[in-house]
């Protein structure tokens, strides 16, 4: 939201931040950069979370997610104003809030409202195993841990999407397979969405239709 607003796109965000110095700073900074913060709620009971990131090498960057009862994961259905969602041309939801029942219900409500209003739905798979209790805090940098529960939840979201974006690891959890090609085909069985497979420094491969026999036959960006 921050960067799209700076690029001139009319952007808004729906989330919670803590009613403390960090939360007020985040909300103020978003607003100063052009983000509509009407739906960035101040939560008096939960703290604004943060992540500590260490960069050791290009493929070694451990992370510690300082998340307990975090404000952003305390979002609930009542925070989602249908008129606010319907006013948007596109809605972006991410996978992290799906790890909590209340935030998951809020995300699903937003998707339902968007579909009814003709608003496009984009799903950033954003899989963080630590949030789902399948990795320890020390394993915060772990990108993939197989979980039938996570796959089931992700697959419940896929049919309502117009765009799905994720890394190979995230596509695998959404598709329920450790084979990327098989996972992409599994996603395609559930959703007609354009799929964007992120491949790090090489950019992305886009699959607007059927998944080809070779992933290299996708649209390279």
What does the pLDDT look like over 10-24, one tens digit per residue? 999 999 999 999 999
Mean pLDDT of 129-133: 93
pLDDT at 142: 84
Global pTM reads: 0.94
Rounded CA separation 196/165 (Å): 5
What is the distance between the alpha carbons of residues 37 and 18, in angstroms, rounded to a whole number?
Answer: 14
Q: Residue 137: its pLDDT value, please?
A: 87
* pLDDT, mean over the chain: 96
The answer to whether residue 25 scores a pLDDT higher than 90 is: yes
Of 64-78, 112-126, 177-191, where does mean pLDDT reach its minimum? 64-78
Residues 6+ apart with CB under 8 A from 118: none
pLDDT score, position 181 = 97
Supply the DSSP string of 7-74, one letter for each residue.
TT---B--EEEESSHHHHHHHHHHHHTT-B-TTEEEESSSBPPEEEE--SBTTB--EEEE-SSBSGGG
| pLDDT above 90: residue 57 | no
Helices 180-190 and 168-175: crossing angle in degrees, nearest 10, is 50
pLDDT at 109: 98
Maximum Cα interatomic distance, the chain, rounded to a whole number of Å: 52
Question: Does the pLDDT value for residue 176 go beyond 80?
Answer: yes
pLDDT 10s digits, 69-87: 899 999 999 999 999 999 9
The helices-and-strands tally (H runs, E runs) of the chain is 7, 10
pLDDT of the residue at 44: 97
Question: How sure is the predictor about 56, in pLDDT bands with cuts at 50, 70 and 90?
Answer: confident
Give the pLDDT confidence score for residue 50 in this predicted structure.
94
pLDDT tier at 67, thresholds 50, 70, 90:
confident
pLDDT in tens, 84-123: 999 999 999 999 999 999 999 999 999 999 999 999 999 9
pLDDT at residue 139, rounded to an integer: 87
Contact 192, 121 (CB under 8 A): no
pLDDT of residue 28: 98
Q: Output the pLDDT for position 152.
A: 98
Report how far apart, in Å, the C-alpha atoms of 111 and of each of 41, 88, 216 are: 19, 12, 31
Phi-psi region of 144 (alpha: psi -120 to 50; beta: other; left: phi over 0): beta
């Amino acid at each position: 939201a921050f960067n799209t607003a700076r690029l001139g796109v009319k952007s808004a965000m729906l989330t919670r931040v803590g009613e403390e110095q960090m939360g007020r700073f985040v909300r103020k900074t978003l607003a100063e950069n052009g983000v509509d913060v009407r739906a960035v709620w101040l939560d008096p009971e939960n703290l604004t979370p943060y992540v500590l990131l260490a960069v050791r090498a290009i493929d070694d960057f451990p992370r510690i997610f300082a998340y307990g009862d975090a404000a952003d994961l305390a979002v609930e259905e009542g925070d989602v104003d249908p008129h606010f969602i319907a006013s948007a041309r596109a809605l972006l939801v991410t996978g992290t809030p799906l790890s909590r029942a209340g935030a998951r219900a809020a995300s699903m409500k937003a998707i339902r409202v968007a579909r009814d209003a003709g608003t496009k739905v984009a799903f950033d798979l954003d899989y963080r195993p630590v949030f789902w209790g399948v990795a320890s805090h020390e394993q915060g940098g772990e990108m993939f841990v197989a979980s039938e529960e996570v796959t089931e939840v992700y697959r419940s979201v896929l049919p309502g999407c117009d765009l799905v974006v994720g890394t190979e690891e995230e596509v695998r959890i959404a598709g329920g397979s450790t084979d990327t090609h098989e996972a992409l085909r599994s996603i395609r069985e559930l959703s007609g969405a354009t799929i964007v497979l992120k491949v790090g420094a090489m950019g992305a491969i886009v699959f607007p239709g059927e998944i080809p026999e070779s992933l290299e036959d996708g649209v390279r960006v």
